[in-house]
Structure 1
Amino acid sequence: MNLFLFDDDTVPLPPITTSQAVQRVLSVFDALSRGLGPAPLVRLRCREDVLVDAKAVDERVRLGERLPLVGTLVAAPDEPVVVGRLAQAGAVVAGHTVPGSPSPGSEARVETLSKLDALLVTEPPAGCRGVVGFVPTRGLLPTSDSGVTTVLARDAAVAQQVAAAVTGPDPRAGSRGFSRHWPESVRLSAGEHPRVGVPDRPFLAALAPMDAARLLATADTLRVAGALTNEVELSGGGADGICRRRAAHALQYHDAILLPLGSGACSLSRLVTHLDTAAMLLPLRFDGGVGLLTKPFDDQVVLDLAGLLTGSQAPRPYPDVGVRLIAFGSFLRGQPRAVDLERVGARFTGFATTSRHYRLMLLEQDPPEAGVVPARGAAEGGPLLGEEWLLAPAALGEFVAHLPAPMRLGTVDLADGTSSLAILCDPAAARHGADLTAWECWRAYLRHLSAVRPAAVRAGS
């Protein structure tokens, strides 16, 4: 063995550092040695094996790989497909959840997670004390049967990100697995005013007073946030079959139903295991809980509602797919035709500015409308502010099929150098309209009108 000696003045030794994933693993096993480890429903893996996985994650990060779950500690069923996908996303699987946990009727508590960030279990708990539970549509996450998987986490964003990492067709489907694909028309949002069903008064009267009060308080919060709520008939449905039929009927006319957790026939914990749905179990400080039930593949809808209630929202939708569309004029949020985008489940994702090669033209219509057309040169155009929406492929087709004249689908160049599909206008229809390009945005022009019209009325009086 060759020994090389270095002059300490010329080659200083690098500092000793402990990377993020490794540090998290060390803290878990240190807590375990002091009796503060994961709850009994988690069977921890060998400490050395977990540290090897954590060091591999940190090395991938050092090499520049971007991992959505880097540093996230998870316990999951001992399923190769699930464990492999979590590891690929940068999570460290510290242990395996015991099959059948939590047992029906049990409650998930903060202590259930201990030092871990998320657990994947095969039964939804009857209550969540300080813990969020996300139940994706049955079959989106690989399972060894047709059961449901619940992702327990400290907040909704982590639960969604863990679920997204595992989501995908199960290669075992057709044998012992059960797998489903996202539909082409999947909704990515319920819009600014989602419709939420709230159990009727007789149903609430049969609950414990504290449970009924929590449910009504949650409904009030949703209304303040813009949701449209109304009563749905669930009372008298004590039998499982009756309650399932009533809940399924209510979901046909609502984006979600607000329900108590628990073990009763009409509890969310029971319904989600018997109906084809997605759900969100919301955290409470005390026992029990409330949750939101939605139609299959409306997972992002229920995640949005949970975001309104908890303040936790992942940066990307679930599923993270779709076509980008730039909207202008009356298709902006709060304007008359924005409902056409919301109707097909489009999701507002932010603002976008075009290059200087476009003009905003006033159309001679009632109510007033504006359209975007290409400019003959940069000197005649200007940057225009629009809104960016995300649509599923089939939803885009449906939206375009109902796009009223003179609007049409086109492509715009954006200020950041990218291009995108956009709602443009037939140049012939805008030929004689006033040029509003100097305002840069339809809303700015409308604010101008609202300011000058009262002044004109006062001058004429």
Structure 2
Amino acid sequence: MNLFLFDDDTVPLPPVTTSQAVQRALSVFDALSRGLGPAPPVRLRCREDVLVDAKAVDERVRAGQRMPLVGVLVAAPDQPVVVGRLMQAGAVVAGHTVPGAPSPGTEVRLETLSKLDALLVTEPPAACRGVVGFVPTRGLLPASGAGITTVLARDAAVAQQVAAAVTGPDPWAGAAAFSRHWPESVRLSAGEHPHVAVPDRAFLAGLPPAEAARLAATAETLRVAGAVTDEVDFGGGDGLCRRRVAFALRDHDALLLPQGTGLCSLTRLVTRLDTAAVLLPVRDGGGVGLLTKPFDDQIVLDLAGLLTGSQAPSPYPDVGVRLIAFGSFLRGQPRAAELERVGARFTGFATTSRHYRLVLFEEDPPEAGVVPTNVPAEGGPLLGEEWLLSPAALGEFVAGLPAPMRLGTVELADGTTAPAILCDPAVAEHGTDLTAWECWRAYLRHLSAVRPAVVRAGS
């Protein structure tokens, strides 16, 4: 059973078409006229002003502009830099959130959003019912100087995209404003097997039975999804709990914790530690949270994606260096872990031009590399994988590349170029040409088919 599905699941929004931003804006005011409008933490703007903004979004769509938040309805603090960035991304700011809302210890329900898609608030709620909360690293959003800024949305992907749209310091706030920038070594992925600290039996025994069962079921879901979990006792007084959580974060990618107002609840800890977090609702009305180190925001977003199935198309932050991988650096192959270790993120497949060869230079275990060729007839389009990683991570990865691998540049089938993991041509010169297979995995499938026959013939 997936605990993260609830009975009042909303239907995913369809792709925005002409005039849809206006139609969705009108739906907010129609709901308000029928007593179904936003809850008190939201002050709606003037109807005419909102419709003017929505029409401007529709005009930009007709003009061919591509915007990440086209037609998304948002309520945000009445701060020019925040509102301006949301509008630039294609969102329609339908109202403003009241400072200090939600008040500490309150629960946020799906009904709070009403017809809106997301709210930007200054305090994380004690619980979420049908709403996902994303708490970025403190100082990344312009409003962070006034408190912890939380994005509440219908799903994790929308929360991430809204946060990404407003990320960055306020240029008008002055030197006294608290702001931070992404480090050069930022991790862009949790990897295939993230390490997550989960509450142990001693900690669960001190919780209400329903809350303990919820955490235990979530930990099991993470294990099934491929995460490596370690049981940790987070219990104790306020200071002891914080120390245990901080210590656990040193050795784990993320921590699983209950929401709420208790001493060791995520809602309390995220306001007292330098962290990032995601708050997730579950079917029974309660909630759990995932906590991570500062600037590891994408780690908890990836874990939220594992649990809810909601994943934004681009990482947070959407920056980095492209790297094309071949051979044993492909996902599921022995050396892919070297890319995951530096926080690289798989973003799709890439095909080279016909100026490259795939060469087998080791038999046991099989290892292949890609080398350029000056004779197109000897080359062929080769299928590789595209990864995204931070500049510092690329430097760390390249520094650990063993011979005969080296960093080079490949020309792709679409005419662009990108850094790639290539092989020393002097070593490849004596190897077996595998270019006809066009893909390392295709050759491995061939090996798995013929090796049993070879064993039977020699037995």
Give the shorter-chain TM-score range.
over 0.9
Change (3 A) 1:382 1:127: same
Distance 1:370 1:203 in 2: 49
Superposition map of 1:45-444 within 5 A: 45-143=45-143, 145=145, 147-235=147-235, 237=236, 239-364=237-362, 366-444=364-442
Q: Which has the larger radius of gyration?
A: 1
Q: Compute the TM-score of the two structures, normalised by the length of structure 1.
A: 0.94
1:381 partner amino acid: G
> Given that residues 122 and 146 in structure 2 are in contact (C-alpha distance below 8 angstroms), is that contact kept between their aligned partners in structure 1?
no
> Given that residues 351 and 383 in structure 2 are in contact (C-alpha distance below 8 angstroms), is that contact kept between their aligned partners in structure 1?
yes
Once the 2 structures are TM-superposed, how far is the Cα of residue 75 of structure 1 from its aligned partner? 0.4
Aligned to 1:415, the other structure's residue is in SS state: coil
Aligned to 2:145, the other structure's residue is in SS state: coil
Change (3 A) 1:288 1:80: same
Distance 1:392 1:264 in 2: 37
Say what the alpha-carbon RMSD is for the aligned residues.
1.4
2:82 partner amino acid: V
Once the 2 structures are TM-superposed, how far is the Cα of residue 171 of structure 1 from its aligned partner? 1.6
Deviations 1:317-367 (A, max 9, x none): 110001110001111111111111011100011111111111111113643
Aligned to 2:359, the other structure's residue is in SS state: strand
Distance 1:173 1:46 in 2: 27
2:341 partner amino acid: R
Once the 2 structures are TM-superposed, how far is the Cα of residue 146 of structure 1 from its aligned partner? 5.2
Superposition map of 1:21-36 within 5 A: 21-36=21-36
Once the 2 structures are TM-superposed, how far is the Cα of residue 418 of structure 1 from its aligned partner? 1.5
Distance 1:160 1:246 in 2: 28
Once the 2 structures are TM-superposed, how far is the Cα of residue 206 of structure 1 from its aligned partner? 0.7
> Given that residues 139 and 146 in structure 1 are in contact (C-alpha distance below 8 angstroms), is that contact kept between their aligned partners in structure 2?
no
Once the 2 structures are TM-superposed, how far is the Cα of residue 454 of structure 1 from its aligned partner? 0.9
> Given that residues 21 and 54 in structure 1 are in contact (C-alpha distance below 8 angstroms), is that contact kept between their aligned partners in structure 2?
yes
Distance 2:415 2:231 in 1: 49
Distance 2:342 2:146 in 1: 29
Once the 2 structures are TM-superposed, how far is the Cα of residue 174 of structure 1 from its aligned partner? 4.5
> Given that residues 173 and 179 in structure 1 are in contact (C-alpha distance below 8 angstroms), is that contact kept between their aligned partners in structure 2?
no
> Given that residues 261 and 268 in structure 1 are in contact (C-alpha distance below 8 angstroms), is that contact kept between their aligned partners in structure 2?
yes
Distance 2:259 2:416 in 1: 46
Change (3 A) 1:460 1:282: same
- Counting matched residue pairs gives 443
Distance 2:283 2:176 in 1: 39
Distance 2:88 2:365 in 1: 52
| Matching residue of 2:38 | 38
Aligned to 2:432, the other structure's residue is in SS state: coil
> Given that residues 172 and 178 in structure 1 are in contact (C-alpha distance below 8 angstroms), is that contact kept between their aligned partners in structure 2?
no
- % identical equivalent positions: 84
Aligned to 1:422, the other structure's residue is in SS state: strand
Unaligned runs of 5+ in 2: 1-16
Deviations 1:200-258 (A, max 9, x none): 111111111111111111111111110001111212x2x22111111010011110000
> Given that residues 146 and 177 in structure 1 are in contact (C-alpha distance below 8 angstroms), is that contact kept between their aligned partners in structure 2?
no
Distance 2:452 2:96 in 1: 68
Change (3 A) 1:18 1:399: closer
Aligned to 2:143, the other structure's residue is in SS state: coil
Distance 1:426 1:456 in 2: 31
1:362 partner amino acid: L
Unaligned runs of 5+ in 1: 1-16
